[in-house]
Chain A
């Protein structure tokens, strides 16, 4: 190669001095001569290499690839490809995470549903004194909801509490009325006995006037007639 190049340069210089541009013919002649000598005249597409150097962080994903390689043992090429898609899919994964977060929120909603059950349970304990502690628990749950149900529970609790109080008063009134009526009955019995006793006396007095049973005057029979009398 160097021989051929040097020969071309020398021949070219000579023809330049002669004012003849025959470099192409000379090159062809030399190629033909080399070929006749059995030498390879093929020219490699690669001559001497030159290199330019830059400093920087050119392959950022390379380190990430290696980390992934440690984790799953995938080959370097596969890891590199996977890492490339990972960098692209990070955003997508983020979106997916957000969706999962919504699911988490739904989970809290489920919890809220449980608290609603608690609220239902609270209404019953409100009928007795246990309702106070249940109401406190309900307030805690309602801070997660909207707080409106807190006031609702209060209204419900008050209504029931008043109803219970009313029932107690009514029971007391029934007891009092009975006491009064018993007394009245005793009075009535006493009066009834008194009147019956007077009526008996009157009947006996009327029976004494049986003189009218005779259809004649009593004075008519003067001495020898004696009327028949009865005692009833």
Chain B
């Protein structure tokens, strides 16, 4: 585990907000409860799996540029926490939200109390159900 020089590759927007990328864009229909989303966390430098033992992983969903409309804790299988996997299990009503484009922030609070949040966000596109 060596030190790395990270001078940042992000750019600033015109209004001063730091731009961020997306981990991916996923499409859901309003009211869906699936498919689930499984995140596999790794160390960006070493590529090693992150041990999520005792960690709390949280997803926060908001309309693009809006306020958070959903906070959902991800499921971490305690028996396989060393695999670095956490799964978003949508509950009934989680995605029963106004159609549009949303972005989800993933925050990891490790057992040491260290809070690490993914810089990039996950984009969800919700369309209206028939």
Q: Are A47 and B1 in contact (CB under 8 A)?
A: yes
Chain A's interface size range is: 20 to 34
Residues of B within 8 A of A51 (CB): 23, 39-42, 106, 118
> In the complex the two chains form, what is the Cα distance from A28 to B39 in whole Å?
37
Q: Are B114 and A59 in contact (CB under 8 A)?
A: no
Q: Are B87 and A58 in contact (CB under 8 A)?
A: yes
Total residue contacts A-B, CB cutoff 8 A? 93
Residues of A within 8 A of B45 (CB): 47-48
Chain B's interface size range is: 35 or more
> In the complex the two chains form, what is the Cα distance from A44 to B122 in whole Å?
26
Residues of B within 8 A of A4 (CB): 3
Interface of A is mostly: mixed
**Whole-angstrom distance between the Cβ of B53 and the nearest chain A Cβ:** 13
Q: Are B34 and A5 in contact (CB under 8 A)?
A: no
Residues of B within 8 A of A94 (CB): none
A72 in contact (CB, < 8 A): no
**Whole-angstrom distance between the Cβ of B98 and the nearest chain A Cβ:** 22
Q: Are A5 and B5 in contact (CB under 8 A)?
A: yes
> In the complex the two chains form, what is the Cα distance from A46 to B52 in whole Å?
11
> In the complex the two chains form, what is the Cα distance from A137 to B41 in whole Å?
75
Contact A2-B5, Cβ < 8 Å, known A47-B43, A47-B45, A48-B45: yes
Residues of A within 8 A of B119 (CB): 48
Residues of A within 8 A of B95 (CB): none
Provide a sorted-by-A list of 6 A–B residue pairs whose CB atoms are within 8 angstroms: A1-B3, A47-B1, A47-B45, A48-B43, A51-B40, A57-B36
User: Chain A residues in contact with chain B, CB under 8 A?
Assistant: 1-2, 4-6, 8-9, 43-59, 62-63, 77
